[in-house]
Structure 1
Amino acid sequence: MRETVFRSDELPAADRFDHVRELMSLSPLLMDASSDHSENLLLHQRDLQLDAVRVWSMTFQPMNFHRTAKLIQRSDPESYNFCLLLNGEMGVSLGGREAIYGPGELYINDSSQPYDIAARCSDGLVSCVGVEIPRRLLSLPPERVDRLIGRPIPGRHGMGGLLAQFLRNLTGDATSYRPTDGCGLGLVVSDLAGALIAHHTAGEERDSRAEPNRRSMVLRIRAFIQNHLDDPHLSPRTVAAAHHISPSYLHRLFEDEPRTVAALIRDLRMERARGDLADQALRSTPIHAIAARWGFRHAAHFTRAFRSAYGMAPNDYRCQFLQDAE
């Protein structure tokens, strides 16, 4: 987990807006901006990088944000951005829809679609919190998400409230988390976002009762897997047995997921091991012990799998990461 904080008030007033625009031009999610406060813009942004997921919070004077077709051609991270407005008002034009959002409402952007956002506030600063999630991490087909783009989503209660509260707690104080917690926290955020979408689109499916039950089962299975990664016997068969279902039904449950159950187990174990290799507090722990800690019974198999996933041997990754961190 990496934290980045930017405060425009630490720069000379005349340089603030240009610096903000430059940062936007360097981001994978390219945007342009305009503001009536460009001469002395106040903006405070905090980013938490949770492996592939980025959680962020922003407080700023009124601004306009633009993502055009030309910017999309230059860079498209193929992600969804969930934004919860905390203070102020946002006029959003995206996906062929226009809407006005107030405090406590969520909206979703698609990085592959142009949009314009006009953020306003008559009392104080605009404030919002959100998360950027790669599309490949959401366990729902894109057409399900597309139905919610441009539609206000309640963020004070229900599934929206759960996601909103988690984001606010995470951006409010991340000091109690270890750097290696980033991957797990990113998965939690992705699951909450997926559950939010499933909840608000379930009634539009042909079987509105079966989909929430399927989604609930998938979330329980994912949580079970995360809690048993250290078990070397964890496999699709043992996962199915623990949930009193057949292996074939387990595979059907995950047909629309981005990864099979076996791939999910492998990837989560690999991500946990990678986090331990990058942990200064564990630099003296043998690599074979870290591998065993996350269910890899054979050190040689772990080394081959790690090299295949990250392009280098575990020991080389540890040396490079810890050297860069010094």
Structure 2
Amino acid sequence: MIGTVFRSTDVAVEDRFDYWRELMSRTIAPSEMSSDHAADYWAEQRLLELGPVTVWPVSFLPTRYRRSTKLIRQSDPEQYHLSVMLGGRLGLDHVGRTSTYGPRDLWVSDSSRPYDVRPPDDGSCHLITGVGVEVPKVLLPVSPDRVRELLGRRLSGREGAGALLTDFLIGLSQQAGSLQPSDAPRLGTILLDLLSVWFAQPLEAEAALAPETRQRALTLRIREFIRQNLHDPGLTPPAIAAAHHISVSYLHRLFQEQTQGETVAAWIRGQRLEGARRDLADPALRATPIHVIAARWGLPRASDLSRAFRSAYGVSPREYRLQALAVAE
């Protein structure tokens, strides 16, 4: 497991909001905090330190966060803050812009400039859920003048690099319990690459990114495309290359450089086999014929699954299912 977890229920009721205020002041740039629910506050946070980047999946009751010029003079970590909204709504006043954010919206704020994050004015107690990211300004290869164009804007986490970044952060939150501390630095490197590409795209500043960063980000986009299309028997290197407007030879070279020499076809096969293995071990799918599971993972013939499965795992799909379900009972 990576990260530390805070749950307000572990603290006495009368101390919960004060504790949360202290915790948030250590997590992000200090701000003035207030909440209509302070008397019986509820919040949860997981704090993931991925090298120089901090990620914090969070859920909390509606709260206001105001960072003033006075607080900036007292303390400024010189960071950009990224928020990915997953549930509820928040408003943001920052650098003269006012926007309201809902699920899969993103925003960026600058710790060196005042901001006001506000819950809805309806007095609701609906939970706010999302993922926060703190990244030192010096680590992004985009000039502060260009980044200012993004501050306080409502940006989409539904398409393009925004969707890839959002899905990565959601997956990181969901898998934190099974990740190891040794994974943290590598995950931080991947996240910095994704952030660099995401910052650059809306500013049309990809030329400022290092070639290695562009290549790693492109490989991540290709992997995500493959995962979403594993059901398609026509998922071949030429089809993948065409979907990303690159040559087949460049696609193969990317994979060799970014996946320790693993070929595109081998990676697709491994993903399909792992998906089929999970389905075969799922008690809820015990009545699903093996040929149906094979087709679900882009292998229209059960014999194709059987040969590849035995080669990878040493047993047939039927034998594996019997063993896995017997253990589950």
Contact 2:141/2:208, CA 8 A, preserved across alignment: no
- Matches of 1:178 and 1:159 in 2, distance apart? 26
- Matches of 2:14 and 2:172 in 1, distance apart? 32
- Matches of 1:74 and 1:129 in 2, distance apart? 26
2:136 aligns to what? 134
Q: List per-residue Cα deviations over 1:241-273 (Å, max 9, x = no partner).
A: xxxxxxxxxxxxxxxxxxxxxxxxxxxxxxxxx
- Matches of 2:214 and 2:201 in 1, distance apart? 16
- Matches of 1:90 and 1:28 in 2, distance apart? 17
Q: Out of 170, 179, 190, which is 1:177 matched to?
A: 179
**What's the RMSD between the two structures over aligned residues?**
2.4
- Matches of 1:130 and 1:96 in 2, distance apart? 22
Kindly tell me: are residues 137 and 181 of structure 1, through their superposed partners in 2, closer, same or farther at Cα, counting changes over 3 Å?
same
SS for the counterpart of 1:174 is helix
- Matches of 2:180 and 2:37 in 1, distance apart? 38
Contact 2:32/2:65, CA 8 A, preserved across alignment: yes
2:222 aligns to what? none
Query: Which blocks of at least 5 consecutive residues in structure 1 are unaligned?
Result: 203-210, 225-326
Contact 1:25/1:32, CA 8 A, preserved across alignment: no
Contact 1:8/1:43, CA 8 A, preserved across alignment: yes
Identity %: 41
Kindly tell me: are residues 106 and 72 of structure 1, through their superposed partners in 2, closer, same or farther at Cα, counting changes over 3 Å?
same
1:266-277 equivalences in 2 (<5 Å): none
Contact 1:79/1:135, CA 8 A, preserved across alignment: yes
1:7 aligns to what? 7
- Matches of 1:148 and 1:107 in 2, distance apart? 8
1:280-291 equivalences in 2 (<5 Å): none
1:212 matched to 2:214? The reply is: no
**Larger Cα Rg: Structure 1 or Structure 2?**
2
SS for the counterpart of 1:173 is helix
- Matches of 2:101 and 2:217 in 1, distance apart? 33
2:231 aligns to what? none
SS for the counterpart of 1:130 is strand
Contact 1:79/1:110, CA 8 A, preserved across alignment: yes
1:201-280 equivalences in 2 (<5 Å): 201-202=203-204, 211-212=205-206, 215=209, 217-220=211-214
1:320 aligns to what? none
Query: What TM-score results when the alignment is normalised by the length of structure 2?
Result: 0.61
- Matches of 1:93 and 1:5 in 2, distance apart? 29
- Matches of 1:143 and 1:50 in 2, distance apart? 26
Kindly tell me: are residues 149 and 7 of structure 1, through their superposed partners in 2, closer, same or farther at Cα, counting changes over 3 Å?
same
- Matches of 1:102 and 1:124 in 2, distance apart? 12
* Alpha-carbon shift at residue 117 of structure 1 (Å): 0.3
SS for the counterpart of 1:160 is helix
Q: Which amino acid aligns with 2:149?
A: R
SS for the counterpart of 2:40 is coil
SS for the counterpart of 1:196 is helix
Q: Which amino acid aligns with 1:19?
A: Y
Contact 2:89/2:101, CA 8 A, preserved across alignment: yes
SS for the counterpart of 1:124 is coil
SS for the counterpart of 1:6 is strand
* Alpha-carbon shift at residue 130 of structure 1 (Å): 2.2
Q: List per-residue Cα deviations over 1:17-41 (Å, max 9, x = no partner).
A: 1111222344562122100001010
1:144 matched to 2:127? The reply is: no
Query: Which blocks of at least 5 consecutive residues in structure 2 are unaligned?
Result: 219-329
